[in-house]
Amino acid sequence: MNSAISVRHLTKDFRIGIRGLKLRAVDDLSLEIPRGQVYGLLGPNGCGKSTTLKVVLGLVSATAGEISILGEPSATSAARRRTGFLPEAPYFHKFLTGRELVRYCAQLSGVAASDLDAAVEDALGLAAMKEAAGRPIGTYSKGMLQRIGFAQAVVHDPELIILDEPTAGVDPVGSASIGRMIHAMRDKGKTVVLCSHLLGQVEQVCDRVAIMDRGKLVLEGAVEDVLSRRDRHVMTIEAMTPAARSAAEAALEAHGAKITSVTHPRRSLEDLFRELVTGSRDA
């Protein structure tokens, strides 16, 4: 019962063409996604991660295997009531305003009429969309579409939130904003499943990751565990002179250690961009 999502031996085949050729999208996948964590599902395009999410949500039927969401069999109405979903490149009815869309989704998700207004305003506030909520969705930018999509996914206060490529096509500032929303959800004790191939962002926001390739699971574990190399160490040194470096090398060699590379630390281009662009917007 500790798993938010439990996938056991999931296989999904698609029949293609008139001859019904079999295309295996997911091959004997087993996953346990723990509750209260941000979980990244990674992999190249076509590796089966979106298909896995669709099967989990009951949008596509499994060829074989068992899936449960929060202890309930997946694809049941009860399971979906506790789940929020933001699909890849979401498209919503352009004539609705952002507030109307979130309200519509809240009603479909079974939010009680007495709680409706508060739930809608909370979700819009969380997605930083209150100011633009009165505008038709047709006038929204890509980043705003993703944010309103996030608001509709969380309006019914789900325990599990599934985000399929939430930052695809969004600029780094918008991407960072979505990252903050994900952290806010984790702080509330929600489970967030993030499907993406933007590795930098996944590394920043996820607690655990699974990497898929050609429909199979190739790696799974805590981000810290899978990324750290226990046999290597990094030290950041200030004001190092050639003499200090020689002395350090000699001291390390005396203990059987060896310096393999010395470089200057770099900040990422994304950090630089966010610093410059957010800074200029704040000014």
Partner 1 sequence: MKDSLRRTLWISRVTFLEAVRQRFFAFLLVLSAAMVLSSVSLRVFDFGHGELKFIADFGFGGMFFFGSVLAVVMTAQLFFSEIDNKTALTLLAKPLSRPEFLLGKFFGAWAVLGVFVLVLASLQGVVLWAREQELIAAAEQAGRIPTTFSIVGLCQLVLLQWLRLGVVIAIVLAISALARTFLFTVVVGSLAVVAGQLQWIAQDAFLRPTDSPAYAAFLWISTRLIPNLQQFNLADALVLGSSAVEEGALIAVCLSGLAYLAAYLTLGSLIFRQREI
Selected binder of partner 1 within 2, 45, 61, 280 (CB under 8 A): 61
- Under the binding rule (CB under 8 A), the answer on residue 52 touching partner 1 is no
Of 17, 45, 91, 228, the residue at the interface with partner 1 (CB under 8 A) is 91
Other C-beta atoms closer than 10 Å to the C-beta of 186 total 18
46 part of the interface to partner 1, by CB under 8 A? no
Q: Does 97 bind partner 1 (CB under 8 A)?
A: no
Question: Cα dihedral sign for 42, 89, 4, 7?
Answer: negative
- 60 lies in the binding site for partner 1 (CB under 8 A): yes
Out of 8, 24, 35, 81, the only residue in the binding site for partner 1 (CB under 8 A) is 81
150 in contact with partner 1 (CB under 8 A): no
Here's the x/- map for partner 1, 162-191, by CB under 8 A: it reads as x-----------------------------
Strands (DSSP E) contained in the chain are: 3-16, 21-34, 38-42, 64-69, 72-73, 83-86, 160-164, 191-196, 208-213, 216-222
- Closest by alpha carbon to 28, among 4, 48, 10? 10
Q: How far apart are CA 162 and CA 142, in angstroms?
A: 19
Burial of residue 95 (number of CB atoms within 10 Å: 0-12, 13-18, 19+): exposed
Contact at 8 Å (CB) between 30 and 9? yes
- Does 114 interact with partner 1 (rule: CB under 8 A)? no
Q: Which of 68, 83, 175, 177 binds partner 1 (CB under 8 A)?
A: 83
Please, what is the minimum distance in Å from the beta carbon of residue 57 to partner 1?
5
Q: Considering the rule CB under 8 A, would residue 152 count as an interface residue with partner 1?
A: yes
Taking the complex as a whole, the smallest distance from the CB of residue 40 to partner 1 amounts, in Å, to 20
Pairwise CA distance, residues 190 & 126, whole Å:
14
Report d(CA 136, CA 115) in Å as an integer. 24
CB of 54 to partner 1, least distance (A): 8
Q: Kindly write out the interface string for residues 229-258 of this chain, putting x where it contacts partner 1 by CB under 8 A and - elsewhere.
A: ------------------------------
Query: Distance between CA 55 and CA 12 in Å, rounded?
Result: 8
Q: Is the CB of 145 or the CB of 211 nearer to partner 1?
A: 145
- Work out which of 2, 45, 77, 263 binds partner 1, going by CB under 8 A: 77
49 counts as binding partner 1 under rule CB under 8 A: no
173 vs 272: CA distance, rounded Å: 11
| 147 forms part of the interface with partner 1 (CB under 8 A) | no
Q: According to the binding rule CB under 8 A, does residue 138 interact with partner 1?
A: no
The answer to whether the beta carbons of residues 148 and 102 sit under 8 Å apart is yes
Closest CA to 155 of 119, 180, 129, 186: 119
Contact between 149 and partner 1 by CB under 8 A: the answer reads yes
According to the binding rule CB under 8 A, does residue 108 interact with partner 1?
A: yes
* Residues forming the site for partner 1 (CB under 8 A): 14, 54, 57-61, 77-78, 80-81, 83, 85-87, 89-93, 95-96, 104-105, 107-110, 149, 152, 162
